Amino acid sequence: MVIMGIDYGDVRTGVAVCDKTGFLASPVTVINQRNEDKLIEEILVYVGQLSPELIVVGLPKNMDSSEGERADKCRSFAQKLSAASGIECVMRDERLSTVSAHVALNNTNTRGKKRKEVVDAVSAVMILQDYLDYRKNTMSEDK
């Protein structure tokens, strides 16, 4: 099953996708768009190209697991994206995904402008890979 991952941001939104086996998440792009409707239009182009059957949107929770205004905004965005695409969107806790992305970029010595250009896509990969691992573990427990 092809699944798309989204790290939704006010300025930059990262997009990732997994292979059909649902094993490995890979970065697709970072979309620089502040207008939510235009952002959804741009994501729909990738939906058309990649044909995901599910979309995972990062849910920014506080470290105490509470949700704030940003989480509400992400839920609203996911609902609009689902309505526009006709594809189910599920929310996935994204705490520390950006921190993990920066660690991964440190490990590859990605710095400066290049880092800024890719960090949101890498964050989308972290969110999607976390969801894929969760699915794999949940499915194996059900057997």
- Whole-number Cα distances in Å, 115 to 101, 119, 120: 10, 6, 9
Q: How far apart are CA 93 and CA 60, in angstroms?
A: 6
Which residue has better confidence, 77 or 117?
Answer: 77
What does DSSP assign to residue 54? E
pLDDT in tens, 129-142: 999 988 888 876 55
Where residue 108 sits, what CATH number does that domain have?
3.30.420.140
Cα(25)–Cα(119) distance, rounded to whole angstroms? 15
In angstroms, rounded to a whole number, what is the distance separating the alpha carbons of residues 54 and 35? 23
Look up the domain containing 8 and give its range: 3-142
The yes-or-no verdict on residue 54 having pLDDT over 80 is yes
d(CA 26, CA 3): 11
Whole-structure pTM value = 0.84
pLDDT of 106 above 70: no
| Domains held by the chain: number | 1
At residue 138, the pLDDT reads 81
Does pLDDT of 116 surpass 70?
no
